[in-house]
Amino acid sequence: MRLHAPLGWFPTAFGLVLHAALATADLIDNGKVVTLGDITYYAGGIPVSTLHGVNGQIVTGLLDIGADLLPLTVIHTNSSHFSTVELNSIVSTFLDSDDVFHTEFLESVYLAYDGSKTPSVDTQSCAPTLDGYGTELFMVGPTFKTSMFSGVTKVSFSKELPSGPYFMSPSTGDIFRAYRLYPDDYLAFISGAVSDEDDGFLALPAVTENVMAKSIAVPSRLYYTASADKPLAGLRLGVKDIYHVKGIKTSGGNRAYYYFYGTQNATAPSIQGIIDQGAVSVGKMGTVQFANGDSPTADWVDLHCPFNPRGDGYQSPSGSSSGPGAGMGAYSWLDIAVGSDTGGSMRGPSGSQGLYGNRPSTGAISMDHVIPLSPELDTAGVFARSASLWSTAIQAWYQNFSSNYTTYPKSIYYSGAAAGWSDVSETTPEAYALLDTFISQLETFLSVNRTNVNLTQHWIDTHAPEAPSDVNEMLNTTYAILTSVDQYALLGAPFFSDYAAANQGRTPFINPGPLARWRWGQANSDNSTYAAALANMTTFRTWWSTTGFGRPDPDSCSEGLYVYPWSTGTTDYRNRYFLATNHPPLGFSDWAVAGYAGAGEVIVPLGEAPYNSTVTGKVEYLPVTMAIQAARGCDFVLARLVSELEEKGILRPVGTGSRLYSN
Ligand SMILES: *[C@@H]1O[C@H](CO)[C@@H](O)[C@H](O)[C@H]1NC(C)=O
Ligand SMILES: *[C@@H]1O[C@H](CO)[C@@H](O)[C@H](O)[C@H]1NC(C)=O
Ligand SMILES: *[C@@H]1O[C@H](CO)[C@@H](O)[C@H](O)[C@H]1NC(C)=O
Ligand SMILES: *[C@@H]1O[C@H](CO)[C@@H](O)[C@H](O)[C@H]1NC(C)=O
Ligand SMILES: *[C@@H]1O[C@H](CO)[C@@H](O)[C@H](O)[C@H]1NC(C)=O
Ligand SMILES: *[C@@H]1O[C@H](CO)[C@@H](O)[C@H](O)[C@H]1NC(C)=O
Ligand SMILES: *[C@@H]1O[C@H](CO)[C@@H](O)[C@H](O)[C@H]1NC(C)=O
Ligand SMILES: *[C@@H]1O[C@H](CO)[C@@H](O)[C@H](O)[C@H]1NC(C)=O
Ligand SMILES: *[C@@H]1O[C@H](CO)[C@@H](O)[C@H](O)[C@H]1NC(C)=O
Ligand SMILES: *[C@@H]1O[C@H](CO)[C@@H](O)[C@H](O)[C@H]1NC(C)=O
């Protein structure tokens, strides 16, 4: 036996007695952390099936195995005469496609037949192969020919299970999912989660050795098969910890909030929606407190800021979707992550970690049961490491965007000059070259020439006569007012009052950043100011979609694309002190356009720029990224565009770790 269960010291002979006695004492089995072939696994505490002998008896022989858990591989076949050729081919497919399966799971094997004949096993060819794998128990389904050979045990399962690795309790026949435990070295997660095998989740009751960090449990990929119904089947999903998920506490990045509100009773419809498409949630991920804008050293008082793996590993991950961004940059075992974007909270981490990530058109998906910043601006986006996966995920997730367009946008509005990148000296030559090459390739791909634009000047030239003359003044405080007023009304005030009522009038701890923003909102806005801020935003939105750069088009959905540099590989060290902030972000520039226009925008990684790290004393590299925006509601144009750009080699998938690309 290579399996070491912590509870393995119970003498097996007393197993059944103990089981009965402990059951009456309400002892709950939360599963076990086990090591198999040097890999650490979590064997879920909730059985997904139970194995019986064909006549309902317990399988004789299993009780003699001196272990609490036995690794098990379930194999499905259509072959009515199963031979070693198929066995070897299945094992090699399993090894290639899954990081949880390992040949040690072949210690016991269950072969299920999916066809309609009476199946048998070519025992002569299989026996030596199974010996080679160390298989000690070979079981087949009830329809197999009886007169095969000794050593094959016929069994049935209370519920058929998909192929893959499992753990089996020899004493009860219970079968548990096999989860591989990965360390969260980058503090990207708040807590791991596993399915409760119903419609909710359980906080992962397993910790392994780490600096302040938890382990995250991921189930075998072999359990899931993508289909038209479930295009995201088996994709491991991380969820920013502002979305409520049934069975798990939500922190919002605040310890008092986490403990005070406790376990959530319902899953946000947005998260349920992506789970219904097949994604498998593996945990809740770090957020700037209440999705605001804290900097790592100065402001992350209540929790520690996740670590950005790029470059020297000590750059800010940006925020507020810091955990999802850091985790996607760091962990190849995590496929996609859901964050949110009110004023750049998806796009910031996409830029700092070099990921595909979007803020969708406002209203893309319900934001119910999510900690709010401002309902006028809050959106839910997806991070991925490839354009194709990002594209698949958003098209599966958002339900109400049209894809009836027949051509691509006919204009590229490049705000590169307005952002100051026309002059090579203002950024590194490497960043400039990446940005300019991409725009040139986009021009060729779309067969259009870029139009260099200056939004401020275009407003001066084209705004309605009755509208304010200075767009930068008109929108200077819009974001500050909408977010500070809304979040205080919807989150701050009720939290203070609920908390005070339960704690003899006490106030919960709030990080300096959100607290300053809420106070600023209370001091600088009344109902008429708020209404004016909203009216200014509407004025802008109307202009953008009529005479601005976000006009709808019947053929291409979006007449043009608004494109601007998002990150240029500049440093943002996390060990940098800042002065205390006493207000929300003010001012208006390209980052705010998508929000005020209600339009969708995606960040795409283009490459890396070198810098001399003050941490490592070596040249390290940071991502360079571009923002691409389409007219409101044309998010699927972006989805198709970036995935085609990737097929053409103009965009590339990124990897995990310090560098974006391994070659
Ligand atoms: C068995 O055949 C069915 C129908 O052709 C197919 O859907 C299924 O994937 C096959 N199963 C295996 C394990 O090959
Ligand atoms: C969950 O439901 C219980 C029982 O109704 C309630 O006491 C608790 O406050 C609810 N939790 C949340 C976070 O809403
Ligand atoms: C999507 O549909 C919702 C209602 O279901 C609507 O409120 C929202 O405006 C729509 N979003 C877009 C971008 O069309
Ligand atoms: C954009 O136009 C405004 C208004 O004319 C001007 O002040 C600003 O300098 C221009 N920006 C750039 C980058 O040229
Ligand atoms: C783009 O500009 C070049 C050079 O100015 C010109 O020859 C070409 O026709 C233009 N292409 C389009 C699609 O307008
Ligand atoms: C924006 O508001 C701040 C604070 O009131 C002010 O200092 C700044 O000058 C304003 N900027 C513009 C462009 O109006
Ligand atoms: C709305 O725009 C006007 C005109 O620029 C400006 O004076 C005012 O401060 C803005 N109001 C708010 C609340 O943003
Ligand atoms: C401001 O608006 C809120 C919410 O609509 C309302 O409850 C409140 O009475 C208003 N206050 C004033 C002074 O009009
Ligand atoms: C796509 O649908 C929209 C909304 O129904 C419509 O306005 C537009 O004309 C359609 N475009 C095409 C190319 O069919
Ligand atoms: C790093 O520093 C060296 C020495 O000062 C300098 O020559 C080099 O250009 C720097 N590299 C980058 C990428 O800034």
Q: Look at 13-22, 238-247, 402-411 and tell me which has the smallest mean pLDDT.
A: 13-22
CATH of domain 186-193+222-397: 3.90.1300.10
Distance 37 CA to ligand 8 centre (A): 64
For residue 485, the one-letter residue type is: V
Ligand nearest to the CA of 552: 9
Structure tokens at 609: 């720029």
As a whole-number percent, the residues of the chain with pLDDT over 70 amount to 92
Alpha carbon nearest to ligand 5 atom 5, residue: 449
Distance 400 CA to ligand 9 centre (A): 13
Structure tokens at 361: 């058109």
Segment 486-539, tens digit of pLDDT: 999 999 999 999 999 999 999 999 999 999 999 999 999 999 999 999 999 999
Alpha carbon nearest to ligand 2 atom 1, residue: 265
Alpha carbon nearest to ligand 7 atom 2, residue: 474
Q: Are 584 and 480 in contact (CB under 8 A)?
A: yes
Name the residue of 456, 459, 460 whose CB sits within 8 Å of the most ligand 4 atoms, as the mutation to test its pocket.
456
Q: Which atom of ligand 6 lies nearest, measured to the CA of 470?
A: 13
Structure tokens at 503: 């704690």
Give alpha helix (H) positions in 26-145: 84-97, 123-133
Q: CA-to-CA distance for 191 and 285, rounded, in angstroms?
A: 7
Residue 416 has pLDDT above 90, yes or no: no
Distance 115 CA to ligand 1 centre (A): 8
Q: CA-to-CA distance for 141 and 76, rounded, in angstroms?
A: 10
Residue 293 has pLDDT above 60, yes or no: yes
Q: CA-to-CA distance for 465 and 471, rounded, in angstroms?
A: 13
Q: Look at 92-101, 212-221, 439-448, 523-532 and tell me which has the smallest mean pLDDT.
A: 212-221
Q: Which long-range contacts (CB under 8 A, 24 or more apart) does 92-96 make?
A: 94/163, 94/164, 94/222
The pLDDT of residue 61 = 56
Answer yes or no: is the C-beta of 582 below 6 A from any ligand 6 atom.
no
Pair type for strands 174-183 and 236-240: unpaired
**pLDDT greater at residue 246 or residue 15:** 246
As a whole-number percent, the residues of the chain with pLDDT over 90 amount to 85
The pLDDT of residue 418 = 59
For the chain, what is the mean pLDDT? 92
Answer yes or no: is the C-beta of 409 below 6 A from any ligand 3 atom.
no
Distance 516 CA to ligand 6 centre (A): 18
Structure tokens at 283: 């945990």
Q: CA-to-CA distance for 345 and 484, rounded, in angstroms?
A: 16
CATH of domain 411-633: 3.90.1300.10
Q: CA-to-CA distance for 518 and 581, rounded, in angstroms?
A: 12
226-to-221, 222, 621, 636 alpha-carbon distances in Å = 11, 11, 36, 21
Q: Which atom of ligand 3 lies nearest, measured to the CA of 635?
A: 13
Please state the rounded mean pLDDT for residues 379-392: 98
For residue 334, the one-letter residue type is: L
Classify 542 as helix, strand or coil.
Answer: helix
Q: Which long-range contacts (CB under 8 A, 24 or more apart) does 643-650 make?
A: 643/387, 643/388, 643/390, 643/391, 643/392, 644/445, 645/387, 645/441, 645/442, 645/445, 645/604, 646/386, 646/387, 646/388, 647/388, 648/445, 650/438, 650/441, 650/442, 650/445
Confidence category of residue 81, pLDDT binned at 50, 70, 90: very high
Segment 106-141, tens digit of pLDDT: 999 999 999 999 999 998 899 999 999 999 999 999
The pLDDT of residue 421 = 62
Answer yes or no: is the C-beta of 616 below 6 A from any ligand 10 atom.
no
Q: Are 422 and 568 in contact (CB under 8 A)?
A: no
The pLDDT of residue 147 = 59
The pLDDT of residue 51 = 92
Alpha carbon nearest to ligand 7 atom 12, residue: 533
Segment 18-58, tens digit of pLDDT: 444 445 567 888 899 999 999 999 998 899 999 987 655 55
Residues with CB under 6 Å of ligand 9 are 402, 404-406, 554-555
Residue 420 has pLDDT above 70, yes or no: no
Confidence category of residue 425, pLDDT binned at 50, 70, 90: low
Q: Start-end ranges of CATH 3.90.1300.10 in the chain?
A: 186-193+222-397, 411-633
Q: Which atom of ligand 10 lies nearest, measured to the CA of 610?
A: 13
Name the residue of 447, 449, 450, 452 whose CB sits within 8 Å of the most ligand 5 atoms, as the mutation to test its pocket.
449
pTM, 2 dp: 0.94
Residue 68 has pLDDT above 50, yes or no: yes
Q: Are 414 and 563 in contact (CB under 8 A)?
A: yes
Please state the rounded mean pLDDT for residues 451-475: 97
Residues with CB under 6 Å of ligand 1 are 76-78, 114
Q: Look at 137-146, 252-261, 403-412, 423-432 and tell me which has the smallest mean pLDDT.
A: 423-432
Question: Any residues with CB less than 8 A from the CB of 2 and at least 6 apart, and which?
Answer: 36, 37, 104, 107
Distance 554 CA to ligand 5 centre (A): 24
Dihedral (C-alpha) 458, 468, 482, 532: value to the nearest 10 degrees?
A: -160
Alpha carbon nearest to ligand 10 atom 2, residue: 612
Residue 149 has pLDDT above 90, yes or no: no
Structure tokens at 145: 């020919």
Question: Any residues with CB less than 8 A from the CB of 490 and at least 6 apart, and which?
Answer: 372, 375
Alpha carbon nearest to ligand 5 atom 2, residue: 449
- End-to-end CA, the chain: 40
**Neighbour-count burial of 268, counting CB atoms closer than 10 A to its CB (0-12 exposed, 13-18 middle, 19+ buried):** buried
Alpha carbon nearest to ligand 10 atom 8, residue: 612
Distance 162 CA to ligand 4 centre (A): 61
Confidence category of residue 331, pLDDT binned at 50, 70, 90: very high
Secondary structure tally for the chain: helices H, strands E: 18, 26
Segment 611-626, tens digit of pLDDT: 999 999 999 999 999 9
Name the residue of 312, 618, 619, 621 whose CB sits within 8 Å of the most ligand 10 atoms, as the mutation to test its pocket.
619
Name the residue of 470, 475, 586 whose CB sits within 8 Å of the most ligand 6 atoms, as the mutation to test its pocket.
586
Closest-CA residue to 294 (of 316, 326, 267, 266): 316
Answer yes or no: is the C-beta of 451 below 6 A from any ligand 5 atom.
no
DSSP H or E segment with residue 623: strand 619-629
Closest-CA residue to 277 (of 309, 233, 244): 233
Distance 483 CA to ligand 3 centre (A): 21
